[in-house]
């Protein structure tokens, strides 16, 4: 049987008809554009989020949010300043005697300004950190001082330890976090040295990527990660709680980026405290109940005293890369590291000084400026971020002879060890070191510790500067090349404090005026750009 032919209409058309349709479509689109132009309707930009493949996505979003908050705070501050100026002009126009009706206006302005300052957090954040740290120490029965196992002595703060000793019947326990980044032999030597003074726990906190936090069972994501020393710390706190006879509160303190929040998340098996690559994420005390008998308290970082050495400031202060020159901070770290091992670690040729090393490192990592010259500052920031992060393997030797701290004596040391099962702790630490997969001694970089790091716990020791003075200083730094501006500054008696543009980068982001923030935003990562 013959197959019937399908009779379908052909889609072909004459060129005259096709061109006529295209012309009609163009005229229609032109008409729509004209009408939209008359109405003033603008095409809404598609708000695209940062793609998941972008590096440092979380840091970019946090910076954008902080920039938005700062811009809003500055607008409110400028609005209040304008109101004050208007009120002053009105008062100048009137008689010298202040009328009774003007007093309520001034009071309202002062109250609104004070409220705005408290809301926008214009008070010095370092003073807030000291207040929160004091609250944590006062509320705690046991204080865990978290140390970076790569430099345990440099992570101890004598001022905070002395405050804990003077606080009464409080126990101080040392936690050697990041133990997987040092060789086992070095870890054992440090454990022997620190155990002579205080109970010490070997620990490796588990880290959970943010992508895994979207899983319904958050605890399961943490169980899959490697964690060492959790059982040892649990048993130590449990034994003290039993001897104490009632529920206890455990405070966690330490310098920035030693892993305080990571330890709490590991014990809780949930991401209850914010963690990240950047330093100083925890800003307020946070109470986390572990069980019915033990409550743990997270605290902000200890403020580093500016009287410390350049190396201590570079490693322990989150703002050190902003307050110091990047080259100066990174050179201070490099000067205390073994030169031969640094050359092997970064696979660069032998260098004479730090500037030559950063030039080689920039060429090795492809960090170039316009014109092809190596970007030395970027290489310095790269080395600083690696040494303050949790990826580089370096270690330092404990002191040859043990000398007790000045705020400790034999009675204090014995009191600190009372209530703890030290025999069980020693067994658990030995098991933790055996299970750890530390790096080899040859693949790690030897580092010379700068000793104890001084911290600030008293609010009066923090120097505070008025926001208006900071804005004036920043404006002078920007205009220090202008002779007219310098003459005007000399008349006001402030030209002596003017700085050159080379030092303008030292100002922290929260101190920038509005025009500087807008310039900064133009060069920042644009969240609304098309990444396709």
Whether residue 334 sits in one domain with residue 207: no
Per the prediction, the chain carries an average pLDDT of: 76
Mean predicted confidence (pLDDT) in 76-86:
88
User: In the numeric block, which tokens belong to residue 149?
Assistant: 């196992």
**CA 49 – CA 52 distance, rounded (Å):** 9
Phi, psi of 516 (to 5 degrees): -70, -35
Phi, psi of 252 (to 5 degrees): -115, 120
Confidence (pLDDT) at 36? 87
Mean predicted confidence (pLDDT) in 318-338:
77
CA nearest 424: which of 196, 186, 237, 169? 237
Whether residue 344 sits in one domain with residue 271: no
Q: What are the angstrom distances between the C-alpha of 312 and each of 43, 60, 306, 330, 377?
A: 53, 28, 9, 11, 20
Whether residue 211 sits in one domain with residue 156: yes
Mean predicted confidence (pLDDT) in 157-169:
86
Whether residue 220 sits in one domain with residue 333: no
How far from the centroid of its chain's Cα atoms is residue 341's Cα?
Answer: 28
Residue 530 located in a structural domain? no
User: In the numeric block, which tokens belong to residue 532?
Assistant: 């396709």
Confidence (pLDDT) at 278? 61
Q: 94, 122, 150 — which closes off a domain?
A: 122
**Is 321 within 8 Å of 381 (Cβ atoms)?**
yes
Q: Which CATH number characterizes residue 222's domain?
A: 3.40.50.300
Residue pLDDT, tens place only, 264-286: 888 888 888 877 656 556 777 88
**CA 171 – CA 250 distance, rounded (Å):** 9
**CA 385 – CA 380 distance, rounded (Å):** 9
Confidence (pLDDT) at 299? 86
Confidence (pLDDT) at 46? 54
Comparing 62-71, 181-190, 254-263, 480-489, the range with the smallest average pLDDT is 480-489
Q: How many domains does the chain have?
A: 4
**CA 266 – CA 203 distance, rounded (Å):** 10
Comparing 99-113, 149-163, 314-328, the range with the smallest average pLDDT is 99-113
Whether residue 249 sits in one domain with residue 146: yes
Most confident of the following: 313-317, 356-360, 465-469: 356-360
Residue 361 located in a structural domain? yes
Confidence (pLDDT) at 464? 57
Whether residue 279 sits in one domain with residue 195: yes
Q: 122, 154, 186 — which closes off a domain?
A: 122
Grade residue 45 by pLDDT with cuts at 50, 70 and 90. Answer: low
Whether residue 429 sits in one domain with residue 346: no
Confidence (pLDDT) at 43? 58
Whether residue 325 sits in one domain with residue 243: no
User: Helix or strand or coil: residue 286?
Assistant: strand
Residue pLDDT, tens place only, 396-444: 999 888 777 777 888 888 888 888 888 999 999 999 998 888 888 888 8
Residue 248 located in a structural domain? yes
**CA 330 – CA 355 distance, rounded (Å):** 10
Whether residue 294 sits in one domain with residue 427: yes
DSSP states of 2-60? PPPPP--------HHHHHHHHHHHHHHHHHHHHHHHHHT--PPPP-PPPPTTSTTHHHH
Residue pLDDT, tens place only, 235-267: 999 888 888 888 899 999 999 888 888 888 888
CA nearest 180: which of 259, 235, 254, 91? 259
Residue pLDDT, tens place only, 476-508: 454 444 444 444 434 444 333 333 333 333 333
Cβ neighbours around 226 below 10 Å, total: 12
Residue 149 located in a structural domain? yes
Confidence (pLDDT) at 410? 82
Higher local confidence (pLDDT), 109 or 404: 404
Confidence (pLDDT) at 1? 60
Residue 286 located in a structural domain? yes
Confidence (pLDDT) at 144? 93
Mean predicted confidence (pLDDT) in 449-466:
76
Residue 356 located in a structural domain? yes
Confidence (pLDDT) at 113? 46
**Is 306 within 8 Å of 246 (Cβ atoms)?**
no
Residue 33 located in a structural domain? no
Q: 401, 436, 456 — which closes off a domain?
A: 456
User: Helix or strand or coil: residue 141?
Assistant: coil
Residue 327 located in a structural domain? yes
Cβ neighbours around 415 below 10 Å, total: 14
DSSP H helical ranges for 398-531: 410-417, 422-435, 467-478, 483-491, 514-523
- Sign, CA dihedral 241-242-245-246, equals positive
Confidence (pLDDT) at 122? 54
Whether residue 282 sits in one domain with residue 230: yes
How far from the centroid of its chain's Cα atoms is residue 128's Cα?
Answer: 16
Share of the chain above pLDDT 70, in %: 72
With 0-12 CB in 10 A as exposed, 13-18 as middle and 19+ as buried, what is 14? exposed
**Is 268 within 8 Å of 290 (Cβ atoms)?**
yes
**CA 398 – CA 406 distance, rounded (Å):** 18
Tell whether the model's pLDDT for residue 527 goes beyond 50. no
Q: What are the angstrom distances between the C-alpha of 128 and each of 154, 255, 304?
A: 24, 15, 14
Print the domain residue range for 344: 310-388
Whether residue 420 sits in one domain with residue 276: yes
Confidence (pLDDT) at 482? 46
Whether residue 419 sits in one domain with residue 369: no
Question: CA end-to-end span of the chain, whole Å?
Answer: 56
């Amino acid at each position: 049987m013959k197959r019937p032919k399908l009779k379908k209409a052909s889609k072909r058309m004459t060129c005259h008809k096709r061109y006529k349709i295209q012309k009609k479509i163009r005229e229609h689109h032109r008409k729509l554009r004209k009408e939209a132009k008359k109405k003033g309707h603008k095409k809404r930009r598609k708000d695209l989020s940062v793609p998941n493949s972008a590096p440092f996505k979380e840091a970019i979003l946090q910076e954008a949010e902080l920039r938005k908050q700062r811009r809003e705070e500055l607008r409110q501050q400028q609005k209040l300043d304008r109101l004050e100026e208007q009120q002053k002009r009105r008062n100048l126009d009137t008689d010298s005697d202040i009328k009774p009706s003007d007093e309520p206006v001034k009071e309202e302005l002062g109250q609104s300004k004070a409220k705005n300052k408290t809301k926008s957090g214009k008070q010095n954040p370092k003073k807030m950190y000291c207040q929160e740290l004091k609250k944590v120490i006062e509320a705690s029965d046991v204080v865990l001082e978290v140390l970076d196992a790569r430099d345990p002595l440099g992570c101890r703060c004598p001022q905070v330890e002395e405050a804990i000793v003077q606080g009464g019947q409080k126990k101080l326990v040392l936690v050697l976090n990041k133990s997987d980044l040092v060789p086992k032999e070095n870890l054992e030597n440090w454990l022997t040295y620190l155990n002579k003074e205080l109970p010490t726990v070997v620990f490796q906190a588990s880290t959970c990527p943010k992508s895994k936090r979207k899983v319904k069972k958050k605890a399961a994501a943490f169980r899959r990660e490697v964690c060492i020393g959790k059982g040892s710390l649990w048993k130590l706190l449990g034994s003290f709680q039993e001897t104490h006879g009632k529920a206890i509160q455990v405070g966690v303190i330490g310098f920035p980026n030693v892993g305080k929040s990571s330890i709490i998340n590991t014990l809780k098996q949930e991401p209850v405290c914010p963690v990240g690559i950047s330093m100083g994420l925890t800003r307020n005390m946070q109470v986390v109940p572990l069980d019915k008998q033990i409550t743990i308290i997270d605290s902000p970082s200890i403020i580093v005293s500016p009287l410390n050495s350049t190396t201590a400031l570079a490693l322990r202060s989150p703002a050190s890369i902003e307050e110091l020159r990047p080259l100066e901070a990174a050179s201070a770290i490099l000067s205390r590291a073994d030169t031969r091992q640094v050359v092997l670690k970064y696979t660069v040729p032998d260098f004479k000084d730090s500037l030559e090393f950063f030039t080689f490192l920039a060429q090795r990592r492809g960090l170039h400026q316009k014109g092809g010259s190596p970007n030395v500052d970027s290489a310095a920031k790269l080395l600083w971020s690696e040494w303050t992060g949790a990826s580089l393997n370096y270690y330092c030797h404990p002191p040859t002879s043990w000398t007790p701290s000045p705020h400790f004596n034999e009675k204090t040391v014995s009191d600190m060890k009372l209530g703890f099962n030290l025999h069980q702790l020693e067994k658990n630490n030995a098991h933790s070191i055996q299970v750890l997969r530390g790096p080899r001694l040859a693949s790690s970089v030897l580092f010379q510790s700068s000793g104890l790091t001084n911290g600030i716990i008293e609010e009066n020791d923090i120097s505070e500067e008025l926001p208006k003075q900071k804005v004036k200083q920043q404006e002078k730094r920007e205009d220090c090349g202008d002779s007219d501006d310098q003459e005007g500054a000399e008349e006001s008696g402030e030209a002596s404090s003017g700085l050159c543009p080379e030092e303008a980068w030292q100002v922290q982001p929260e101190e920038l005026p509005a025009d500087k923030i807008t310039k900064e935003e133009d060069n920042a990562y644009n969240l609304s750009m098309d990444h396709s």
